[in-house]
Amino acid sequence: MVPPPGRLTVDLGAGEGRLGRDLLARGHTVVGLDTSPTLARASAAHDIPLRMALADAAAAPLRASCADLVVAFMSLQDIDDYEGAIGEAGRLLAPGGRLCLAIVHPINSAGKFEVGEGPAAPFVIRNSYLDTFRYHDEAERDGLTMVFHSAHRPLEAYSRALEAAGLVIEAIREVTVDDPLDRWSRIPCFLHLLARRSG
């Protein structure tokens, strides 16, 4: 779903720059934004450095209409002012420019598998899908435990923010596990969305 390279691609919530480096390899000119000094330094100091700005995604230090593409890969569910960040994406995009985003699918963050590990394990939504609420996930890698704090928001919340920013949805993809024996194959894990700035 990622459009081809243009003048400038802005990566909102660039983190350590992994996605930005993938985009560089595909010919994009990338500027990353992140509020974490540690991650911004890691991105700028990498063997393949990414141009970074230590900045809030809802207050980007870039001029209006400077970009053909804004990407927000797995960052919007972690940004408190997601409406401001989406509004900034609309401001940064030139007319016809696109926002490409990926989030945890709202169905995924609304519920959980409660019993068993097999493909028939029931997935239960106990909170209201339509509410906004905070949640956290823990992951362990290389002996380190990480906690990710995020916000569940229904799809309509993102759609309304896109509307307010003058962005029109062009495509939606619901990404799941491609294994019929895996319980995660029954619900979408991630939502990928492509939107275009009108005008």
Q: What's the CATH code of the domain at 42? A: 3.40.50.150
Q: Is residue 189 part of a domain?
A: yes
C-alpha 145: how far from its chain's center? 22
Which residue type does 160 have?
R
d(C-alpha 9, C-alpha 14), whole Å: 11
Helix 82-92 and helix 155-164: axis angle, to 10°?
40
For 4-43, the pLDDT digits (tens) are 999 999 999 999 999 999 999 999 999 999 999 999 999 9
Residue 115, φ and ψ in degrees, nearest 5: -135, 130
Q: Please give the residue range of the domain that contains residue 27.
A: 9-105+153-197
Q: What stretches of 17-167 show up as alpha helix (H) in DSSP?
A: 18-25, 37-45, 82-92, 106-110, 155-164
For 138-197, the pLDDT digits (tens) are 999 999 998 989 999 999 999 999 999 999 999 999 999 998 888 888 899 999 999 999
Q: Is residue 135 part of a domain?
A: no
Q: Is residue 128 part of a domain?
A: no
Give the model's pLDDT for residue 13. Answer: 96
Q: Is residue 45 part of a domain?
A: yes
Q: Is residue 92 part of a domain?
A: yes
Rg from Cα positions in the chain: 17
Q: Is residue 91 part of a domain?
A: yes
Q: Is residue 13 part of a domain?
A: yes
For 92-117, the pLDDT digits (tens) are 999 999 999 999 999 999 998 887 66
* DSSP code at position 98: E
Beta strands in the chain (DSSP E): 9-12, 30-34, 51-54, 67-73, 93-104, 112-113, 123-124, 133-141, 144-152, 167-175, 190-197
Give the model's pLDDT for residue 117. Answer: 67
- Contact by Cβ (8 Å): 87, 162: no
Q: 185 Cβ partners below 8 Å, 6+ apart?
A: 119, 176, 177, 178, 179
Tokens of 92: 């940064």
Which residue type does 161 have?
A
- Return the higher-pLDDT residue of 32 and 122: 32
Q: Is residue 97 part of a domain?
A: yes
Rounded to 5°, the CA angle 62-81-72 comes to: 60
Tokens of 48: 């393949």
What's the number of domains the chain is made of? 1
